[in-house]
Amino acid sequence: MQSETRKNNQIQVKIAGGIEEMVQAIAIRSAVYVGERGWSFKEEWDGNDFTATHLIATVNGDPAGTMDRVPRRGVTAVSPSDPRPGWPC
């Protein structure tokens, strides 16, 4: 049954382009790094966030993960949200 669910999932990854997608990316990163991993807010959020390119991954339209890329530093954070049953991530 789970494999059938995975076949129907629509996965998208795109550059976070508007306020709604940026808020989704911020929420996922905060949940993963500050909430789950116990990093301080100051450790996770710095001035590089304003110059980074933020990507948002969705599964069936629901936010599922995010990553950012800071110029000259490469990928700095990959944050998958908690997988739900049937999600491929």
Q: 29: domain range?
A: 2-80
Q: What is the pLDDT of residue 13?
A: 92
Residue 77 has pLDDT above 90, yes or no: no
Q: Find the mean pLDDT for residues 42-61.
A: 84
Helical H runs in 8-57? Answer: 19-29, 41-44
Q: What is the pTM of this model?
A: 0.68
- Is 87 among the domain residues? no
Residue 10 has pLDDT above 70, yes or no: yes
- Is 69 among the domain residues? yes
Domain count, the chain: 1
- Is 86 among the domain residues? no
Q: Find the mean pLDDT for residues 48-55.
A: 84
SS3 content of the chain, % helix, strand, coil (to 5): 35, 30, 35
- Is 89 among the domain residues? no
Choice between 5 and 51, residue whose per-residue pLDDT is larger: 51
Extended beta strands in the chain, E state: 11-15, 53-59, 62-70, 74-80
Residue 69 backbone phi and psi in degrees, to 5: -135, 120
- Is 22 among the domain residues? yes
CATH classification of the domain holding 73: 3.40.630.30
pLDDT for 13-46, tens place per residue? 999 989 999 999 888 888 888 888 888 888 777 7
- Is 68 among the domain residues? yes
Instruction: Please name the residue that has the structure tokens 């049954």.
Output: 1
Residue 79 has pLDDT above 90, yes or no: no
